[in-house]
Chain A
Amino acid sequence: DIQMTQSPSSLSASVGDRVTITCRASQSISNYLNWYQQKPGKAPKLLIHAESSLQSGVPSRFSGSGSGTDFTLTISSLQPEDFATYYCQQSYSTPPTFGQGTKVEIK
């Protein structure tokens, strides 16, 4: 199975900050990398698929980049509604695997 490792596991940031979350795959996954946002008590929500394709309705302050084994989710200006846990997921091979999550908290 492909292992997905996110860093950091958690971070504290202020509204307006630029936030970067990284995700590393244990082998090359081309650009089959997806990002999800999960708020407490809610289901995960797909933000970005195929490394950088923003889901309809997702604010443009979210962006994804990378290829191969190293990927990044960037929030250009953190908003109050962005405080949540973010997961990366590879969909290159079965089983699809998730990173352990990055919790973004208010500083």
Chain B
Amino acid sequence: QVQLVQSGSELKKPGASVKVSCKASGYTFTSYPMNWVRQAPGQGLEWMGWINTNTGNPTYAQGFTGRFVFSLDTSVSAAYLQISSLKAEDTAVYYCARDKYGSGSYGFDPWGQGTLVTVSS
């Protein structure tokens, strides 16, 4: 079945970097864009941007430029989110989520299980 499996929770100190992985299975990885969504503790869902899994071209939402990098390894059907110069306010659950149909117009399905990134000294 179509599935996204993310890497485990991370505890990082301020200023450090983290790389979250999202491994896809059950479909042709390069046929569907991958999105990243952030959920701060007790808060709602915030779209961070997406990456074209065919070309590798990323698009970042406002507020997620500079320290946030989306990347791919198509040989293992994986997408990555790297966050550098971590701040306490980066503490959140980060989700990868596939475009349902590939056009971006019909929602995100499926989602990874989420990766909790905690930034604390």
Within 8 A of B (CB), among A5-42: 32, 34, 36, 42
In-complex Cβ contact of A46 among B95, B108, B113 (8 A): B108
Q: Number of contacts between A and B (CB, 8 Å)? A: 61
Does the CB pair B44–A101 fall under 8 Å?
yes
Given A44-B45, A44-B95: A49 and B111 interface contact (C-beta under 8 Å): no
Does the CB pair A44–B111 fall under 8 Å?
yes
Residues on B with beta carbons closer than 8 Å to the beta carbon of A44: 37, 45, 95, 97, 108, 111
Does the CB pair B95–A43 fall under 8 Å?
yes
Residues on A with beta carbons closer than 8 Å to the beta carbon of B108: 34, 44, 46, 89
The interface on chain B, measured as residues whose beta carbon lies within 8 A of the other chain's beta carbons, has a size of: 22
Residues on A with beta carbons closer than 8 Å to the beta carbon of B97: 43-44
Does the CB pair B107–A49 fall under 8 Å?
yes
Central interface residue in B44, B46, B59, B110, by most chain A CB within 10 Å: B44
Does the CB pair A98–B47 fall under 8 Å?
yes
Residues on B with beta carbons closer than 8 Å to the beta carbon of A96: 47, 104
Does the CB pair B112–A100 fall under 8 Å?
no
Residues on A with beta carbons closer than 8 Å to the beta carbon of B113: 42-43
What are 30 contact pairs spanning A and B, CB under 8 A? A32-B105, A36-B45, A36-B107, A42-B113, A43-B95, A43-B111, A43-B112, A43-B114, A44-B37, A44-B95, A44-B111, A45-B109, A45-B111, A46-B109, A46-B110, A49-B100, A50-B105, A50-B106, A55-B109, A87-B44, A87-B45, A89-B45, A91-B104, A91-B105, A94-B59, A95-B47, A96-B104, A97-B47, A98-B45, A98-B47
A residues whose Cβ falls under 8 Å from a Cβ of B: 32, 34, 36, 42-46, 49-50, 55, 87, 89, 91-92, 94-101
B residues whose Cβ falls under 8 Å from a Cβ of A: 37, 44-47, 59, 61-62, 95, 97, 100, 104-114
